Amino acid sequence: MPKLSVIVSFDVTEPHLQHCLDSLAAQTVALDDVEVLLVPVRHDRDLGAADSVQPPDGDAFEGDNGDSDDLPPGDDGEAAEADAEDSESTVEARDEGLATARAAADGGDLNGAPVTLVAEPVAEHAEARSTGAARTTGEYLLFIEGCDALVGYSLAHLSAALDESGSDLATGNVYRFNELGARQSAAHRKPYSKRRTGVDVRVTAGLLADRVVGNKLWRRSFWAGLPDLGLGDADARLAAARTMIAARTIDVLPAPVLLVRDRESSEALHEIEPMTRRLGAIARIAAGLSGADRMVWDSMALRGDVRQVLLRLDDADDAARERFLDLANAYLDTVGTRLLDGLTVLHRLNHHLVRKRRIEPLLEAITFQKSVELKKAPLVRRGLHYYIRYPFFEDPAAGVPRDVYRLGTELRLRLKTERVEWRDGRLVIGGRVGVRSLRAGRRWQQQVFAFAVNTDTGKRVPVSAKVRRAAEYRLPDVPGAARHDFGGFELTIDPAKLRLAGRWRETEWKLELVVVNRGLVRRRLLANPVAGPPERPPYVEVADDVWVRPSWSADGHLSLAVAPTRARVTGHRMDASGADTALEITGTAAGAATGLRLDRSGGTAALTYPLEVEDARFTARVPVDDLLANAFNEGSGALRQEQWRASLVGADGATAPLVLPDDITLASHAVGDGHHEVVVQRTSTGHLRLRAGWAHPVVRSAEWSGRDLVLAGVYAGASEMSLLFKARGRDESHPVPLERDGDHFRAVFSPAAIPTLSGPLPLAAGSYQLWARVRAERGDADVRAELDAVFVRSLPLAMETPERTFTFTDSGSDVPVLKVGGDLRPEEQGIFAQRRLREETYPALRGEEVLPQILFDSYTGRQFSDSPHSIYAELRSRSGVWSDYPMKWLVRDGQVTLPDDLTRVRYNGRDFYEALARSQYLVTNSRQPGWFARRPDQTVIQTWHGSMLKRIGFDIENIRGKSRDYHDKLAWETRQWDYLVSPSPWATERLRSAFRFEGEILETGYPRNDIFFAQGRDALAERTRERLGLPAGKKVVLYAPTWRDDKYYTRGKHKLDLHLDLRRMYEALGDDHVLLVRRHPRVVDSVPIVGKDFVYDVSLYPEIMELFLITDVLVTDYSSMMFDFANTGRPMLFFTYDIEGYRDNLRGFYFDFEETAPGPLLLTSDDVIGALRGIDDVAEGYKAKYKAFTDQFCPLDDGKAAARVVDRVFGRE
């Protein structure tokens, strides 16, 4: 009987099944002890998410003032396959999916694991799991969907945990992946921060945020005893949570074991049937539970699953809303009052309105929860208690009791540790701490006490703590910060206090802060180090061979390890004298030792080697081939485990970490094929660590030479290598010019002047990690650069310019990072500073005289482009006063290059407020701040930024992510406009309606389209091609999609939702086409470059109209640029893979797009490729529609729109 049974359920149309099977064949476990069963799932259904990993919220008081668990739709969810009935594409996909399964089954095994295919497809993945469990025999069960993949060590790692613990199931971390690479699943980051054995979810309820099935290994005896919940794929998230509650104990492994492929979510929980099914399932499961099980279920459901349905009520019809109230109230009738009262304010408010069946106030509360208002809600004090001003607080008409808004445990501490250093033999720790939203503006409002807590005995020892004045929590702690308070703290620990019973003993201490703020008492272990030196606190010898070694534990707490040195390294060398090349390590041990143990990072593998012992001295040999064979690298480098912790194993099995004294030299040895190395490293706690795998560059020195960052270091590999800085939090990279001399390199980087298509620009604010791109036989690989262990102590190194500060520092002990500050001055940064500028500075500046100047703005400071640019150029082309009239341009974070005759205005800087207050003219294509009020002698020209396919303004039925007073603010803003520019008679009617604008609409055509009729357009087109470096003779395709409202990192920073298969396009079209890709200004990701001279990222090209001049075919989706490009008469293709959801759920359209579009609407990459291959036929087929489209939307475009605007607004002089 095999030990492990793996059940692979796959949709019969699944195109990625082979990738899943390959991951099974690559498992490190003995595959002759594994059986694989393939269970096909029919493709004749339309179901909701099967393996959703979007978590419920916890009790934590998230955000500034309330819960913030409303994740963007689809952020971490899964999706069912779309219906495709009997279409040709489905037949092809069916053949692909089943052919893959049949080939695997016909082959008989996967590297020794027998493979069996179930003949008849089942209805759902849930049924496939039941079928698979019944038809297999292994002691352990793993279920995986065919679109996902296991990590190479998954089965070995999970089964070893169950073997050792006896738990009912073991569960591991999850990474998500797509064509761009792999990344940590947001829902799994916190629950899987550290290893835990024998966890009870009744105690550790946060684990219920994990609703994935494929990352779990189940003991068959436990699985067989689970009740049949009767739940299908659409409610698999509930089934996953229920099974975890049923488990007696669970092993939690922080190493990733599953790669989940990104899939779109399609749950329609606002409709009656799915809503009834989901809430009914929640109630049925609850009814079968009691005691602690019922408590944890109800808590999870109310915070997560019920609220998930509630937040969709704004999309629901009246009948669905009534059904929700019926079902939710029936469930709440069964929930204990104590649990309901213990929920956070937001949940209590929701449930109060549900209980009272107040649907209109509930809808208003839902809008509030989805908007920026949530984090801005203020605290108020009434008597001895604090309340939060959520909707209907102290509103007599609403009748919501004040106690619903009372804050309790939500008022939690926020803490960051900014210094950990030794001074005069004492450990000094500094940082900032405070109760959320209760700033200590006065000294008496906050006191701080601290204790060293022994983890072995529980003994608490008071340590010195003092409050200090510091910058406001969110601001850099510099003297010039906008506001200071008494939120700073400093602890001083005398090492003598870390003794037990007056003696030095091997033990561990943690530090607890006790903060008293206005009578509230809050406690928290010292945690949350800021990046840089605080992450690598130094260690010291406090007595004869007794050391205190501070470090940060897996759960982020500062740990003070007190211990003598029981095992130390005295030397190391590479020994090639034997049959195998080996790293020889010598040292001394205080007690009897039998072996050297190496544990791979993540705890996913261990190697043990015998010792040669003579007295207290030992020698160990570690074969290089062992280290290289066990180096792990998957997920395009995101899952790389190459480091090994070293310890000695005693006769009793206990381990002692190996100390690497500071006087022992570190070393790097090139091995194998020249691409790899074995490195002897010292951890931040002074212990031995080995790294074996790809050769990494090591930075040994850095300095600022003027505005240039000069890096020098070594690289032991023989591979071709280049350096690059990659942005954290978005897909963006910048090459670093490099010179190599043998193993040494020197690199010079100029972060204040990065070459771009818009000219030299400074790096945008953020953090950039240094990486190496290594050329290998199988393609390029990115490996992280490292910092020399000695050099890192000299960091950080800062360079200041008048615009911003650049700081080269470290993150995570040895990771080189360049931190780039924004262009706001310290006194302009932060919420308080902006409020002061808005409420004090701006009103005062409005009292001063209006200046004869024009402020231009394109896309809120993101570009030098569009109709404002055309109006600027028209004014400058005229003689007289306008040729040298003072003009300014709004620039966000310095990311726009301007001509010399324009003055830069920093977005949100003091000059921004002054320009809005005092400029005679304002020309913009974007929204204006809600606090802007036009003065009588100011003139505002709103050009807007496109004709409208998508609904805008008051015409959007369901405003997502906006504040409840969005329409009131919009009405105020439009009253500040003097003129609104319209491109056509058709647009005039929509603009008037969308903005309810009562002023003068200038029906002139769009000034930005004048370029298509300019006399020098052909010469300009040629210069544009040269500027981009496009190869001659190739057809130019421009792909320019709009942004997706629901695909974003943070508000205002959207993801590149790229659905075109660039690799397939390159293979099909690369010989005679080039593809220009331009992301929307809201999108922050870079474009992946595929092939040679094929994909060009033109997102930073300043003026898209110039790109239109060289474009042979435009591929877009719902972008308004279709109306502009129609002036060229060249073909357009519309890649509308998500048209139903975009049209019906996100924005809505002004006209029947399918009927009116001047080109075909395409759903897949292959459709786009086919249309481009036959573009002449496509153009001919849409000739009539194209003309009708141009006649309707572009009748005024004649090259004179800017002149007409200028004549009307500025005069003819």
Q: Is the pLDDT of residue 8 over 70?
A: yes
**What is d(CA 701, CA 840) in angstroms, rounded to the nearest whole number?**
47
Return all residues near 833 (Cβ < 8 A) that are at least 6 apart. Answer: 482, 483, 827
Q: Is the pLDDT of residue 753 over 50?
A: yes
What radius of gyration do the chain's Cα atoms show? Answer: 32
**What is d(CA 75, CA 55) in angstroms, rounded to the nearest whole number?**
10
Q: Which has the closest alpha carbon to 1007: 1203, 1209, 1207, 856?
A: 1203
Asked which of 354-358, 620-624, 728-732 is least confident by mean pLDDT, the reply is 728-732
pLDDT of residue 498: 97
Two structure tokens written together for 261: 């492929």
Q: List 772's β-bridge partners, or say none.
A: 723, 783
**What is d(CA 715, CA 747) in angstroms, rounded to the nearest whole number?**
12
Task: Over range 310-325, report the average pLDDT.
Answer: 95
How confident is residue 109, by pLDDT bands cut at 50, 70 and 90?
confident
**Which residue type does 1126 have?**
A
Q: Which has the closest alpha carbon to 594: 537, 632, 651, 662?
A: 651
**What is d(CA 322, CA 530) in angstroms, rounded to the nearest whole number?**
49
Distance, C-alpha 965 to centroid of its chain: 29
Domains and CATH numbers, the chain: 4-267 (3.90.550.10), 277-405 (no CATH), 413-562 (2.60.40), 566-694 (2.60.40), 698-820 (2.60.40), 1010-1201 (3.40.50.12580)
Q: Which has the closest alpha carbon to 1073: 1110, 1031, 1039?
A: 1031
Task: Over range 933-946, report the average pLDDT.
Answer: 94
Helix (H, G, I), strand (E, B) or coil at 662: coil
Two structure tokens written together for 356: 């009272």
Task: Over range 596-617, report the average pLDDT.
Answer: 94
Q: Is the pLDDT of residue 1021 over 70?
A: yes
The Cβ of residue 129 has, within 10 Å, a number of other Cβ atoms equal to 23
pLDDT of residue 1057: 61
pLDDT of residue 171: 97
As a whole-number percent, the residues of the chain with pLDDT over 90 amount to 74
Bigger pLDDT: 159 or 186? Answer: 159
The alpha carbon dihedral of 1182, 1187, 1188, 1192 has a sign of positive
SS3 content of the chain, % helix, strand, coil (to 5): 30, 30, 40
Q: Is the pLDDT of residue 610 over 90?
A: yes
Distance, C-alpha 1123 to centroid of its chain: 33
Averaged pLDDT of the chain:
89
From residue 508, alpha-carbon distances to 194, 495, 537, 549, 1046 in Å are 18, 12, 16, 10, 46
Which pTM was predicted? Answer: 0.86
Residue written as token pair 């204990």: 336
The Cβ of residue 1023 has, within 10 Å, a number of other Cβ atoms equal to 14
Q: 802 — phi, psi (to 5°)?
A: -60, -20
Helix (H, G, I), strand (E, B) or coil at 115: strand
Q: Is the pLDDT of residue 917 over 50?
A: yes
Q: Which has the closest alpha carbon to 1075: 1180, 1169, 1178?
A: 1169
Q: 1050-1079 as b/e, with b when 16 or more CB fall inside 10 Å? A: eeeebbbbbebbbbebbebbbeebbbbbbb
Task: Over range 588-593, report the average pLDDT.
Answer: 91
Q: Which has the closest alpha carbon to 651: 610, 590, 592?
A: 592
Torsion of the alpha carbons at 945, 948, 954 and 958, rounded to the nearest 10: -110
Q: Is the pLDDT of residue 164 over 60?
A: yes
How confident is residue 1063, by pLDDT bands cut at 50, 70 and 90?
confident
pLDDT of residue 153: 95
pLDDT of residue 52: 36
Max CA separation in the chain (angstroms):
100
The predicted-structure confidence for 865-916, as pLDDT tens digits, reads as follows 999 999 999 999 998 899 999 999 999 999 999 999 999 999 999 999 999 9
Helix spans in 494-614 (H): none
pLDDT of residue 151: 94
How confident is residue 960, by pLDDT bands cut at 50, 70 and 90?
low
8-state DSSP, 315: G
**What is d(CA 935, CA 919) in angstroms, rounded to the nearest whole number?**
10
How confident is residue 92, by pLDDT bands cut at 50, 70 and 90?
very low
Task: Over range 637-653, report the average pLDDT.
Answer: 89
The predicted-structure confidence for 826-870, as pLDDT tens digits, reads as follows 999 999 999 999 999 999 999 999 999 999 999 999 999 999 999
Q: Is the pLDDT of residue 961 over 70?
A: no
β-pairing, 507-517 vs 558-564, is antiparallel
Task: Over range 1007-1031, report the average pLDDT.
Answer: 94
How confident is residue 57, by pLDDT bands cut at 50, 70 and 90?
very low
Q: 1019 — phi, psi (to 5°)?
A: -65, -40
What's the distance, Cα to Cα, between the start and end of the chain in Å? Answer: 93
pLDDT of residue 1153: 85
Q: Is the pLDDT of residue 70 over 70?
A: no
The alpha carbon dihedral of 737, 742, 743, 744 has a sign of negative
Two structure tokens written together for 590: 């205080």
Asked which of 70-74, 521-525, 532-536, 692-696 is least confident by mean pLDDT, the reply is 70-74
pLDDT of residue 552: 94
How confident is residue 59, by pLDDT bands cut at 50, 70 and 90?
very low
How confident is residue 107, by pLDDT bands cut at 50, 70 and 90?
confident
**CA contacts within 13 A on the Cβ side of 296:** 20
**What is d(CA 698, CA 743) in angstroms, rounded to the nearest whole number?**
10
Q: Is the pLDDT of residue 1147 over 70?
A: no
As a whole-number percent, the residues of the chain with pLDDT over 70 amount to 92
Q: Which has the closest alpha carbon to 593: 577, 575, 569?
A: 569
Identify the burial level of 705 via C-beta atoms within 10 angstroms of its C-beta, where 0-12 means exposed, 13-18 middle and 19 or more buried: exposed
How confident is residue 546, by pLDDT bands cut at 50, 70 and 90?
very high
Helix (H, G, I), strand (E, B) or coil at 873: helix
- Beta strand residue intervals within 777-875, DSSP E: 779-784, 786-787, 797-800, 805-811, 815-820, 851-857
**What is d(CA 74, CA 995) in angstroms, rounded to the nearest whole number?**
30
How confident is residue 956, by pLDDT bands cut at 50, 70 and 90?
confident
**What is d(CA 267, CA 52) in angstroms, rounded to the nearest whole number?**
10
Task: Over range 771-786, report the average pLDDT.
Answer: 84
**What is d(CA 843, CA 1080) in angstroms, rounded to the nearest whole number?**
34
Two structure tokens written together for 266: 């399609």
